[in-house]
Amino acid sequence: MTLQIQPVILCGGAGTRLWPESRGTRAKQFLPLTGGDSLFRQTVARTPAGEHFLPPVILCGEGHLATVREQMGAQEAALLVEPMPRNTAAAIALAVAQADADTLLLVMPSDHVIADVPAFHAAIARAARLAQQDWLVTFGITPEHPETGFGYIASGDALGEDGFAVARFVEKPPLADAEAMLAAGGYNWNAGIFLFRAGRMREAMLTHCRPIFEAADKAVAAGMRDGDALHADAIEFGKAPSDSIDYAVMERDDRVAVVPVAMGWSDLGSWQAVHALAACDEIGNATQGDVFLHDSHGNLIRAGGKRVSVIGMEGIAVIVDGDDILVVPLTRCQDVRAAAKARE
C-alpha cells in the first residue's frame, strides 16, 4: 500500500492549565515543555512528509499563525486559519471540507507527547486499514492508572487484528468507575487522535452535525488565501455551533472503531503531568534554571530566568514566567485555570 496519509494538526488550544508559561501567542503547544523542541514541532516531526505522509494541514487561530510559521520554518505545510475558536468539530470540518474524499486524514492534537513513535506508526497502519473500510477510527491509549481526567472508550467486537468496534464512550469517570474499568480491561483512554477517510467523515458530519459542516464548508469556499495559509471566512465560520468531535460525531455514529496502542503518551495536561514526565533528581525534584532547594522533594520548579529558593516544601510547582510567579500543589494543578483567567 503506497497510500499517503494526510496529517491534520490541531493547534487551536490556549493551554491555560500550563499558565503562566503558556499564554497568548506562546501557547502550550509552542513551548519546549519536555526540553528540546516544542510540542508542536515534535508533533510535526512524528509524521514526516515522505513515503507514508503528505505535508501536514495545520489548523490554528489568527493569533498563533506567526508562531506556526516561525516554528515550521521552510517545512511544507498547508495552514488553515480559524477566525475564532469553535471547538474541534468545526476545526476538523474545515480540514474535511478542503480534502479529496478518498484522502485519509490523521487528526492529532499539537500538544501531546508520544515517546514510542514506532508504536504510533504501527497503530496508524492498523487504523488506516480500518479507515479504508469506512470506519471512523479513534486511537485508544492503554490506561496505566485509574485516571479521572480522561474519557474512556469501551471496546466491542474485534475487527480482525487491527482494532475493535467501539461499544461506547465513557465520560471522565469518578475514581471508583475508573478503577473498575482498569480492572475489567477492554477500556482505553480517549486521546483525541483520529483517522478516517475524508468523504466518510463528510457524510457523518452531514448526518450528525450538518450545521457545523455546512458552516465550515462555506467558510473554506469563501476563505481568503494568503500564501501557504487559507483564512476561513469569519462570517460563515462564526455560524458553526461550538462542539467537540466526540460529542458531535464519534458518539453518534454507529461505525466507530478503536485502535488500542501503548506508546508512552501524555497530554501534558497540567504541571503535574509535566513533573511526571520530567527528569527528576533522586528525591523527585525537577528543576529548570537557577533553583536552590533545601530539604525539599517531589517538586517542579521552573525559574524562568529568575532565582528560586525553596525550603521545606513537598509536591508543589513553582513556575516563573516574566513577572508572573505561580505557586500551587502538584495535586491542585487543575485549578491553574483560575489564576490564568484572573491574570490574563
Please report, as ranges, the residues that interact with a second copy according to CB under 8 A. Answer: 20, 292, 294-295, 303, 305-313, 316, 318, 320, 323-329, 331-332, 335-336, 338-339, 342-343
Comparing CB distances to a second copy, the nearer of 239 and 332 is 332
Min dist. Cβ of residue 17 to a second copy (A): 11
Comparing CB distances to a second copy, the nearer of 250 and 340 is 340
Comparing CB distances to a second copy, the nearer of 268 and 313 is 313
Comparing CB distances to a second copy, the nearer of 68 and 326 is 326
Comparing CB distances to a second copy, the nearer of 48 and 305 is 305
Handedness of CA 44, 45, 47, 50 (dihedral sign): positive
Min dist. Cβ of residue 336 to a second copy (A): 7
What is the secondary structure of 110-148 as a DSSP string? SS-EES-HHHHHHHHHHHHHHHHTT-EEEEEEPP-S--S
The answer to whether 209 and 91 are in contact (CB under 8 A) is no
Angstrom distance (rounded) from CA 314 to CA 312: 7
Min dist. Cβ of residue 272 to a second copy (A): 12
What is the secondary structure of 283-301 as a DSSP string? TS-EEEEEEEEES-BS-EE
Comparing CB distances to a second copy, the nearer of 24 and 305 is 305
Site of grid cell 503518551: 265
DSSP assigned state of 250: I
Angstrom distance (rounded) from CA 165 to CA 337: 36
Min dist. Cβ of residue 178 to a second copy (A): 22
Min dist. Cβ of residue 181 to a second copy (A): 28
Site of grid cell 450545521: 211
Beta-carbon contacts of residue 37 (< 8 Å; ≥ 6 apart):
45
Min dist. Cβ of residue 337 to a second copy (A): 10
The answer to whether 8 and 329 are in contact (CB under 8 A) is no
User: Residue 20: is the preceding peptide bond cis (ω within 30°)?
Assistant: yes
